[in-house]
């Protein structure tokens, strides 16, 4: 048995984040700034698509409905970064880039970071809850592990 890992997933520094939007992504970031997690759903064929591309990959429609999601998710994949590849990351080790599957939007995945969670609890299939980190010009949706309430 390995010892429990007492470390916590850190946030990457805001200085490495530049929010660049366009007409297709702006609604996602506007919602995040208001503390809401949303996903783009094709108005024609009801397929979710993220990132919100101009054309639906299923039916080529450009019509989008923005659906508010419950803010929970399942961890699909992640990595625990132990070495700072940039000087700015030296104080952020370990940090955990991740791919998550949000509840309420079948078929899409969001690239994010896991934060405020013990490294030992971060396993594929773990249940997650969204949080919003304020940054210049908006907020970034990130996720933390939800521990079973027992």
Q: What are phi and psi of 81, to 5 degrees?
A: -90, 120
Q: Which residue has the tokens 């907020």?
A: 139
Site for Zn ion in 10-49 (CB under 5 A): 42, 44-45, 47
Our CB check for Zn ion shows the closer of 59 and 111 to be: 59
Minimum separation from the CB atom of position 28 to Zn ion (A): 18
Among the listed residues 15, 26, 61, 124, the single contact to Zn ion using CB under 5 A: 61
62 binds Zn ion (CB under 5 A): no
Among 9-17, 55-63, 82-90, 110-118, the segment contacting Zn ion (CB under 5 A): 55-63
Our CB check for Zn ion shows the closer of 9 and 56 to be: 56
59 binds Zn ion (CB under 5 A): yes
Task: Give the H/E segment covering residue 33.
Answer: helix 26-33
67 binds Zn ion (CB under 5 A): no
Q: Which residue has the tokens 């934060």?
A: 115
Minimum separation from the CB atom of position 38 to Zn ion (A): 17
The per-residue DSSP string of 60-122 comes to ----EEEEEP-SEEEEEEE--B-S-SSGGGGGG-SBEEEEEEETTSTT--EEEEE-SSBGGG-
Rounded CA separation 117/108 (Å): 23
Q: In the complex, which residues of this chain contact Zn ion (CB under 5 A)?
A: 42, 44-45, 47, 56, 58-59, 61
């Amino acid at each position: 048995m390995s010892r429990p890992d007492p470390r916590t997933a850190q946030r990457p520094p805001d200085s490495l984040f530049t929010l660049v939007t366009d007409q297709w992504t702006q609604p996602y970031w506007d919602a995040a700034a208001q503390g809401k997690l949303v996903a783009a759903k094709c108005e024609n064929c009801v397929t979710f698509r993220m990132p919100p591309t101009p054309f639906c990959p299923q039916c080529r429609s450009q019509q989008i409905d923005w659906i508010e999601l419950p803010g929970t998710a399942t961890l699909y994949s992640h990595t625990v970064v132990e070495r700072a590849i940039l000087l700015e990351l030296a104080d952020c080790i370990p940090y955990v880039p991740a791919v998550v599957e949000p509840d309420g939007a079948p078929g899409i995945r969001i690239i994010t970071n896991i934060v405020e969670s013990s490294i030992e609890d971060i396993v594929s299939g773990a249940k997650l809850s969204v949080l919003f980190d304020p940054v210049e010009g908006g907020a970034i949706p990130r996720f933390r592990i939800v521990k079973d309430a027992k």
